[in-house]
Amino acid sequence: MSLTRLDELFHAARARPAGEWPAFLARECGGDEELASTLLGMLREEGQAFSWFDEAESSLGLFWEEVLPERLGPYRVLRRLGSGGMGTVYLAEGFGRTLAVKCMRWGGAGLLKRFLDERQILSRLDHPGIARFLDGGRTPSGEPYLVMEYIEGTPLSEWERSGRILAERVKLLRAVAETVAYAHENQVVHGDLKPSNVLVTASGQPKLLDFGIAKLLDRGEESNEESRSIALTPAYAAPEQLAGEPISELTDVYGLGALLAELTAEGADPWLAEIVQRAVSPDVAGRYPSVRAMLDDLRAWEQGRRTAPTA
């Protein structure tokens, strides 16, 4: 049993809900029952050991609900939607519409830079697949906030469990990829493509969320220290990210491949498997050279041209 493989699968599984562990391990362990059993035991033991922390975190969440701010700038806060690495997102209303307001809660120069970068990045993107940036400001105590359109939708993981056929899944992934390609054409790399960052609206439009660790390509390379400070989800992060190296368009190619692998896991289609394999190549030189190149093969699959993926 490879310790490296054991560690990789452990971290990939623990990033998922506990209810998905058995199916995920059965799929990823390739029939190695001993490996799957060992990993499942490790995951369950960790959950029991730190259950007290979950309770404390829940209590803290209730505390933050109790101290809900009444207003953020001109916007009246209605309720808390959730928290992320950089702050808290609130449902708010202002100027006759319902909005999402993301407010940075924790300090630090590095975190402030990332938050302001996200605000700048969103202000330059205008696409139906991205929540629109509407406004920004600071609270009386100095914390910056950004205001976005509020998206009502179903998280991607929930959407894929609702009996979608393979063609629907590929179509949705293609729409996400089109959005990512648009971002790249505007010199933006998302860098954190995972199911929790995709919402699907009632009309079937996927919306890409959370540009908190996105990178502006026309600003030059970020430092390795900045990359290592970012909290990543191992199951969807590219090897270069996990190694603390700068991200690029090919990092998003990997993320799209990981999403495609999850969306098509139940469909035994060798052509789609080839597309996934190329997108998630550990070596960046082995990946698609761009999201547009990956999109060419996805469209060809949808149109039934059963030729090999492009070289």
pLDDT one-digit tens code per residue, 29-78: 887 887 888 888 777 765 543 343 344 344 444 444 457 889 999 999 99
**Annotated catalytic sites, by residue?**
192
| CATH of segment(s) 154-302 | 1.10.510.10
Lowest average pLDDT, out of 15-19, 116-120, 149-153, goes to: 15-19
Angle of helix 21-28 relative to helix 3-14, nearest 10 degrees, comes to 150
pLDDT one-digit tens code per residue, 209-239: 888 778 877 665 554 444 444 567 888 999 9
pLDDT at 295 over 90: yes
| CATH of segment(s) 66-149 | 3.30.200.20
How confident is the model over 278-304, as a mean pLDDT? 96
Q: pTM of the predicted model, to two decimals?
A: 0.72
pLDDT one-digit tens code per residue, 234-257: 889 999 999 989 899 999 999 999
| Boundaries of every domain in the chain | 3-49, 66-149, 154-302
Higher pLDDT, 171 or 267: 171
